[in-house]
Amino acid sequence: MGRLIVHKSDYQTPLHPASITRKLAQCSACPTRDTAMCSVLDDEEIGALADIVEHLELKSGETLFDEGDDARNVYTVTDGIIKTHKLMSDGRRQITGFYFPGEFVGITHGDACAYSAQASGPTKICQFERKAFEKVLEKHPQLRSRLLNDASEGLAQAHEQMLLLGRKSATERLASFLLMANEKTTRWHPELEDNISLPMTRSDIADYLGLTTETVSRTFSNFRTNGLIAAQGSKNVRILNSDGLEDLADS
């Protein structure tokens, strides 16, 4: 418990590998993706979180928690991607969200987890014991405010996803997905704009988009054939024509 969390101020300077973890850990308290919120947290608050943080690394597919588990901890992603899903009794699966670096996972007001969470590719996270985390929240209302913001954003994303699942074609779904992945990636790595790493499998993408792996694969091929994207391997995509993708994604 209690490795140091580093403040934004030293984020922009070049870092050697050993500091990467510290740099990323900082995100849990103060993600660059929302600079407005950044300034809201002062050194004391960062320190309060530093006291209760635990750093973890997950292998691809490793489980963070399962639906129905006691909600003992909350997490932030610092590297890689966490996926959450729900299952039906016959095994059909819906992935309900991909969480990128800087995002919180596992915030519930109830006592039990409403869904399962796993690493989608090798992933690093910060873990906070829930009760301790809530004590910090009580002392630091700005942080709670930031979480409420996140929750609200999460709900908006969920509504957007319902539109996708209920009304969009396979092509529109994959286009929307790529744009989302690009946007979430560039929040943390602006230098990677239009170069997305997709550590999840085709099957994960399919279960997120309500499609089959075959359809996802075919649609990827279409995009390649039509010069919308280029790919080196199946897990690294370069967006060649983001306007085209946006037209396809509609709304």
Partner DNA sequence: CGAACTATTGAATTACCTCAAGCGTAGTGG
Partner DNA sequence: CCACTACGCTTGAGGTAATTCAATAGTTCG
Q: Which does 212 bind (CB under 5 to 8 A by kind): DNA, a copy of itself, none?
A: DNA
**Which of 210/244 has CB closer to DNA?**
210
Give the pairing type, strands 116-119 and 82-87.
antiparallel
What does the DSSP assignment read for 203-224? HHHHHHHTS-HHHHHHHHHHHH
**Distance in Å, CB of 201 to DNA, minimum:** 3
* 56: contact with a copy of itself by CB under 8 A: no
Residue keyed to tokens 């690093």: 124
Work out the end-to-end distance of the chain between its first and last CA atoms, rounded to an integer number of angstroms. 44
Single-letter amino acid code for the residue at 1: M
- Binding piece for DNA, criterion CB under 7 A, among 80-88, 145-153, 185-193, 203-211: 203-211
Contact (CB, 8 A) for 119 and 78: no
Residue in 163, 229, 219, 172 with CA at minimum distance from that of residue 195: 229
Q: Among 1, 4, 20, 162, which residue interacts with a copy of itself (rule: CB under 8 A)?
A: 162
Residue numbers of the site for a copy of itself (CB under 8 A)?
A: 84, 86-90, 92-94, 96, 108-110, 114-115, 145, 148-149, 151-156, 158-163, 165-168, 207-210, 250-251
Question: Applying CB under 7 A, which residues contact DNA?
Answer: 60, 169-171, 201-203, 210-218, 220-221, 231, 233-235
